[in-house]
Amino acid sequence: MLKLHNVSKCYGQQLAVNNVTLTVEAGEIFGLIGQSGAGKSTILRMMNCLEEPTSGDVIVGEQNLVKSTPRQLRAARKSIGMIFQHFNLVANKTVFQNVEIALVLAKYPKAQRKKRVMECLQFVGLQAFQSKYPAQLSGGQKQRVAIARALANEPAVLLCDEPTSSLDPKTTAEILHVLQEINKRLDVTIVIVSHEMDVIKRICHRVCVVSKGEVYDIVNIEPIGIAKIEDHPQTFVDELVREGL
């Protein structure tokens, strides 16, 4: 459903991502793990061409984003939602307005916007917070608003860059639960970047280990669920990470 083919990214002289080829299958939760500076965010941001690859192809569905016109790219991006570590909400807009922005930008019919915003807020459990401002919310609530905004245009794929890295363990579990529900109930394919193995192990079906801008390995994992992580033995992927990849 989403394929990077021989994708590289240079920043000036620096090769940040080197010849990455990988396919994310429809319906899966796909993890990207690796050390700081490994190139995880750059790879993720190339999946919707937020970052334009220096070379290579990005295929989403049938469309090659690299070869698309700006108009085609805008249309394709409607089917790709994105959330970030620091939530990226608009401070002077309410919760309702923050979600509505996505619909306004996508030229969603005005008469149906309110209903759609409230559906999305209901999905993340924040209907009662629609008139609050981001500064009045906890970190977990802010991330829920960002998730509602990302869901507004019914994306097929949700890209998540360290979505729980600013959150405490309990809130992390809650957000991972929301992501799992989005995957299961809304059939949204999820790509999640994290440097925390615990996060990956809880919900991902496969994980790609990124090291020095390259794909070191792609490993199937059995998601162990959100609770009771301490009870589970270390996995093969932990060993890779311990090896410093």
Our finding on whether 236 is near ligand ATP (CB under 6 A) is: no
Interhelix angle 169-185/139-151, rounded to 10 degrees, is 20
We find the least distance from the C-beta atom of residue 45 to ligand ATP, in angstroms, to be 8
Our finding on whether 194 is near ligand ATP (CB under 6 A) is: no
Integer CA distances (angstroms), 219 to 3, 222, 233, in order: 17, 10, 17
Nearer to ligand ATP, 217 or 222 (CB): 217
| Among the listed residues 193, 215, 219, 241, the one whose alpha carbon sits nearest the alpha carbon of residue 22 | 215
Residue carrying structure tokens 């998601």: 223
Integer CA distances (angstroms), 124 to 88, 140, 157, 172, 213, in order: 17, 11, 17, 14, 34
One of 195, 205, 206, 212 touching ligand ATP (CB under 6 A): 195
One of 8, 41, 141, 153 touching Mg ion (CB under 5 A): 41
Q: By CB under 6 A, what part of segment 72-131 binds ligand ATP?
A: none
Our finding on whether 130 is near Mg ion (CB under 5 A) is: no
We find the least distance from the C-beta atom of residue 214 to ligand ATP, in angstroms, to be 11
Nearer to Mg ion, 8 or 41 (CB): 41
- Residue 78's contacts (CB-CB under 8 Å, 6 or more residues apart) are 106, 153, 155
Q: Encoding tokens for residue 182?
A: 């989005």
One of 41, 48, 141, 183 touching ligand ATP (CB under 6 A): 41
Nearer to ligand ATP, 156 or 190 (CB): 190
How far apart CA 97 and CA 115 sit, in angstroms, is 13
Nearer to ligand ATP, 36 or 69 (CB): 36
Stretch of residues binding Mg ion (CB under 5 A), selected from 9-17, 39-47, 111-119, 180-188: 39-47
We find the least distance from the C-beta atom of residue 56 to ligand ATP, in angstroms, to be 15
Asked if residues 29 and 77 have their Cβ atoms less than 8 Å apart, the reply is no
Our finding on whether 34 is near ligand ATP (CB under 6 A) is: yes
Nearer to ligand ATP, 151 or 199 (CB): 199
- Residue 155's contacts (CB-CB under 8 Å, 6 or more residues apart) are 78, 79, 80, 81, 188
Chain positions contacting ligand ATP, by CB under 6 A? 11, 16, 34, 36-42, 195
Residues that bind Mg ion (CB under 5 A): 41
